[in-house]
Each structure stands twice: as structure tokens, then as C-alpha cells.
Structure 1
Amino acid sequence: MLKHFRVAGTLSTRLEESGVSVSAVLRRAGLPQDLFQQTRILVNTEELFALWRAIAEVSSDPAIGLKLGTENRIERFHPSGIAALSTENFGAAIDHLARYKRLSVPEELVHDRQGDEWSIQFRWTLAVEAEPPVLVDHCFAWMLTIVRHGTGMRITPLRLELVQPRTHTKALERHFGCPIVCGSAQNAIVFRTADAAIPFVTRNAELLEMLAPQFELDLKQHTNGDDSFLELVRGAIQQRLTGHRPTTEDVARELHMSSRTLQRRLQESGSSFQRVLDEARRQMARYYLKNSVLELNEAAYLLGYEDASSFARAFRAWEGVPPGHWREANRETTIN
């Protein structure tokens, strides 16, 4: 059973930018002071709720959830958010985000279309207490961020339904551009059914294909629970296979350890940096050749090779055939 959420490291930066002391928030929440220095920030539902309650208590701004859920810099988006923006339309984006949550965290993104209304809810499946209002505000603000970035339009919901009362109703009305209904039976943001078909101007099928390997790896890591050290290293390498060959220093920095410690732990695991790098490249190469229309020189570039010839030699050593032959044989197998 999935028990943990992965907290975005950028939350720490956003809090500081909003004038909220991260140290004070962590103390109030009873969480480790080095939480945001961890490679993968994992918390259970109780800790997640404590974190967001502490944010509301430490901040002097009742609308802090709206501010933290509104992001204009796409480079700060979580990979699942970038992938959602790369989909065809608003409905496809919600389907993508719902799948990611279902497979990676103890939370559900539930949406239902009844007549002309399309209701979207967040449900924390292991919660034993009511979710903090500031977290609810944050989630719905993030949803609005996705749809407005994706469509390039100032889309407004029909209404926002909230279980608990708010002292900043006017701020919510200005932000969402719709009526706020407190005392509802559920927390939900309600759009028009027709909004689901609004195309995304950010649609990028090729980017979505490129993000898919890391996205699926992230799902696998969450689903399988504890990750082995080799999986962590391979994942860190794959995140950096975007046009250059990652070094031991790059990966060690991501994992918050020295290069010497990284190499020692790899040796203790019966491997080496070069071996894990080759495994990461091989896995990604097979994906690119099987699931994309990338030219061989483009795949070589993404995998950090100097040229297509170097990539072809490495691929032939892995698979016993040139990459072009492997692609054709794989396609024939798929078709048959």
C-alpha cells in the first residue's frame, strides 16, 4: 500500500520568497530541520497535514495557500505538471494527473461529469482527520495554474465548493473568478463540462515522449516502496541525460554525498558508475527507439554521446545489432 507523499523541494524556496520561515514551519510541524536537504522528501499523510497546518500558522497571510499554488515559472513545475501541460487538452491533463496520483501517492484526483458540470476533487485516502484548509486552497490554485498555463486563457470555474469556512473568501473569489460556497458536503472545484475539450497551446507530444521514461521510473520507485541505492543512482543519471554525459560529481551532488562516497557505495553494491551509466543509457535508448520518432543523431544527443557513431557502437555492444536494425525488428514484432 502506498503510504508516502513526495514533497517538492521547491516548496522551501517558495516559502522563503513569501516571507515564511522554513525553519519555523518545520519546528511547528515537528519535522526534521534538514527535511528539504534530503534527496527525496517523503512524508506520510499525518506529516503532510502537519506541514501545511504549520505553514498556515507561521504565515500571517490567510491566502498563503493560493500564493504557493500559483506558479508562473514552468521550470519549477514538477515533471508530472510539465507532462500534463504537454497533453492535448484540459481533460487529458486531468486524466494524466489522476493516474500519477493513483499510482504514486495515497491520494486520489477524482473527477466526474454530470450534465454541464465537471467536478474535480482531491481525496487523501489514508487521512483520519480533515485536510488543512490551506492545503485545499493550494491544490485548487495549482489546478487553476495548470489550466490557465495550458490553454493560455483566463479560464474560470463555475464555483468552488468548500467544506470548511474561510476568512479570506473575497481573496478566493478574486483568484478563481467564481462564487465560493462554504459549508458544502465536499471540497470541489467545478468547471463546465465543455472546458475539458479546450485544447492546450502548450501541447508537445515529443516532450511528453521524452518525459515518459523518467515519469514511469518515478511511478516505479513510489510503487515499489524502498529504492535500492543503484536505482537511485540510475534515476539521478537519467534525469541528467539531456544533452550531456553526467559526471560522478553531478550525481553525487544530487544525492548529497561526495564523489568518493558515491563510488565506494557503488563498489559495495557490486557495480560502478560507468556500469550504472551504461544501464541508464541502454534503458533510455531502447525507449527512444521503440516509442519515439527521434532520429538516431537526436537520440545520441539526448543520451550524452558526442555523435551518432559513438551511440551506434555502444548500442551494438549492448544488443548485438545496430540501433536502426533493432528499431525495425522491434517495430515488426510490435506490429505482428
Structure 2
Amino acid sequence: MTSHSLDRIKFPAIFWRGMSNFNIAAHDVIRKAQLPLAVLNESFVINTAKFFAIWQAFSELVNNPAECIVKIAKGIETAQLPPIVLAPYHSRNYRDALIRMARYKQMCVPERIHIIEKGEFCSIELEWLYAEQPEPPMLVGVTLASLLEIGRRGSGYSMTAHALELSGQMSNVQALEEHFGCRIKLGAERNRLTLYRSDLDRPFISYNAELLEILTPALDRSLNEQQRSKSITEMVKWIMKRSLASGRPDIHIVASELGMSDRTLQRRLTDKDTSFKQLLTEARREKAIEYLADTSLDLKEVAFLLGYEDLSSFYRAFRLWEDDTPSNWRAVHLGFDEISEDSLGMTSNH
């Protein structure tokens, strides 16, 4: 299991206090997740894998996860909400609230909320940046149910969803279908909540301009400070690695992911005595080593995952990096028999 220096989560104390609502002890959840009791300390930092383990353990201890999701979403007390969630509750309308949630939630957990408006619908998709395992269905359900609850409370209108897709499995989903007002598709390709786009324009009766004038600048400063504290080169390489399989990453795409212009990104990389091209080479080299260490991947698959159109291009690049062929590197480091380049259609000058 790989780790990332930016994969850091502090579990909120409100979660542990909420265990009593389901007659579950926090210690039992932690033990089932096979984690140290130090997790109960608010200052204790965990990664995404451990965060998922806690939610999975919690879901296995409750009687009915679907009913639990609804209870958590409806039981949210606004007065206890942290500023990053309080601001959306007092937004101008539902669209503004969702945008604020997507912007500020990344300050707490390494999760992206993608909002896509198209035609008469708006889809919301969740992406955990450092996840190596699927998200626990209960965690996904709580997140999406809470996003819908924000719209209902803020607007005072009992809006329903058009569709809900969950990649995992869950039994007795009737409670969830009643809550969202739509059928639920389990085992889907992705976790996605589809809303009616017209609902995004519903004004919030809880709109509080004065409160937002106080919260927004403070939240933006905290977000900017958090982003500045991260290594720009590390973030760029992480985005590159995530998108290699779909082709060579473009600077415009990477800059957009970081919320800056192409020129700003180039300037910041120059300040670090590096370049976009150099980081792309480093990202590919690091991922190549990681993939070659995975015995389930053959060399053609490794080349594809690195964004190379053919195996010979990968061989040429790897020889420049390691002064060795990928097959021989794997043989030396993992104790495999070297794969003949001739059998792969490679010539000696590659």
C-alpha cells in the first residue's frame, strides 16, 4: 500500500459523539477497524485507507446502514457545524451552496466533489484523491444524503433526486430510496447523485449575507494557506500520475485542477527550478517503477498505464531513465526470468 504526504485526515469528534445515537461504542468501531485507540484523539492524523476502515467498521456494526445514513443526514444540527459546512447552509441558493461545499471540503479530507451541469440535470460525483480501495457505501451515502439535505433545509423545499448510483452494495435500500425520492442503482460504475438542474436556482431562506461576509474571507485565507503549504511539484506530479493512462497530461488540465492559470503554474514551477516537462518525466519514471513491481501487470499494460502508444516508446524512455530495459529491471529487482525483447518484437537499438 502506497502513502502520500498530503493524505492526512483528522477525524471529527462529532462523529464519535454520534455513535451513541446508534448504541455503538467508539472503542468497538476502532477495534473492528483494527486501529489504535489513539484515533479518538482529535489531533491524531490518519490517511484515507484508515478513514475508510473506520466507516466500514461502523457500517458493519449498525443494524441497517441505509436507515443509519438517513438518520445521520436528517440529524445534522446546524449550530454544531464547522465553518466549512456552515457557509454553504447560508448561501444565496442551492448552486452557491454546492460550489462552496466543493471548494471548502477539501480543507478537511482529500475528496473532490465534481459538479456537472448538463441539460436539465446536474450530476454530483465524488472522488477520493488517494483511495486505493472503493469507498465504503455508507460513507458515500452519508455524503450524498447530506448534500441533498443542505438543499432541502436551505430552500425550505422538499426536493427529490432524479437518480442515485452507488458503486458498492447495500441491503434494504428502501429507506434511502424514500429519502432521495428515486430508485437506487447498486453496483454502478461510479458514485453519482443526479439532481434536477432547476432546483439549483432555488433561493435559500437561510441566506445570511452578513455571516458569509465574515466566513468567506476567513475560509478562503485558510484554503490558500493550506494550498501554499503543499509542495507545488508534489501536487503537479500527483495529478500527472492520476491521468497518465488517458494520455500525456496537458499543462492546461493540470493548472485547472490546481485552480490557477497556465502562466501562474509555469512561474511557480520555475521558482522551484523545475519545469512541467521535467516533472512529467519524473512522474512517469516513478510510476514505471511502481508498476513494474506489480507482478500482475505485463509490460504492455505498464506501457499503456504510463500513456505510451506502443511498447517500444516505453522501452526507449526506460533505458534513458535506468540504463536498463524494463524486463531486465524486473528480473534483477524481483527475481524473475528476464523477458526476451525479441519475443516482444523489440530490436536491440530500442
Global fold match (TM > 0.5): yes
Tell me what 1:44 maps to: 47
Structure 1 residues 209-288: aligned runs within 5 Å? 209-216=213-220, 218-219=222-223, 222-223=226-227
Q: Given the two structures, how large is their TM-score scaled by the length of structure 1?
A: 0.62
The answer to whether the Cα contact below 8 Å between 2:136 and 2:168 also exists between their aligned partners in 1 is no
| RMSD between superposed Cα atoms in Å | 2.1
Tell me what 2:154 maps to: 150
Pick one of 12, 24, 33 that aligns with 2:16: 12
Is the counterpart of residue 187 in structure 1 residue 194 in structure 2? no
Quick one: distance in 1 between partners of 2:178 and 2:31?
Answer: 32
Tell me what 2:59 maps to: 56
Tell me what 2:26 maps to: 22
The answer to whether the Cα contact below 8 Å between 1:121 and 1:188 also exists between their aligned partners in 2 is yes
* Residue aligned with 2:214, SS: helix
Quick one: distance in 2 between partners of 1:168 and 1:181?
Answer: 13
Quick one: distance in 2 between partners of 1:49 and 1:224?
Answer: 27
Pick one of 31, 36, 44 that aligns with 1:32: 36
Tell me what 1:97 maps to: 101
- Provide closer, same or farther for how the CA distance between residues 107 and 215 of structure 1 changes in structure 2, counting only shifts above 3 A: same
Structure 1 residues 69-218: aligned runs within 5 Å? 69-102=73-106, 105-216=109-220, 218=222
Quick one: distance in 1 between partners of 2:131 and 2:145?
Answer: 21
Quick one: distance in 2 between partners of 1:178 and 1:162?
Answer: 13
Q: Tell which structure's C-alpha radius of gyration is larger.
A: 2
Identity between Structure 1 and Structure 2 (%): 31
In structure 2, list runs of 5 or more residues that go unmatched.
231-350
Quick one: distance in 2 between partners of 1:221 and 1:76?
Answer: 25
Quick one: distance in 2 between partners of 1:147 and 1:179?
Answer: 19
The answer to whether the Cα contact below 8 Å between 1:104 and 1:219 also exists between their aligned partners in 2 is no
Quick one: distance in 2 between partners of 1:221 and 1:58?
Answer: 38
Q: Residue 103 of structure 1: CA displacement?
A: 5.3
Quick one: distance in 2 between partners of 1:34 and 1:5?
Answer: 14
In structure 1, list runs of 5 or more residues that go unmatched.
227-336
Quick one: distance in 2 between partners of 1:216 and 1:133?
Answer: 31
Q: Given the two structures, how large is their TM-score scaled by the length of structure 2?
A: 0.60
- Provide closer, same or farther for how the CA distance between residues 222 and 88 of structure 1 changes in structure 2, counting only shifts above 3 A: same
- Provide closer, same or farther for how the CA distance between residues 62 and 103 of structure 1 changes in structure 2, counting only shifts above 3 A: closer
Q: Which amino acid aligns with 2:204?
A: F
Quick one: distance in 2 between partners of 1:42 and 1:197?
Answer: 38
Q: Which moved more, 1:71-80 or 1:208-217?
A: 208-217
Quick one: distance in 2 between partners of 1:65 and 1:215?
Answer: 28
Quick one: distance in 2 between partners of 1:48 and 1:125?
Answer: 13
Could you say which structure has the greater relative contact order, defined with CA pairs below 8 angstroms and 6 or more residues apart?
A: 1
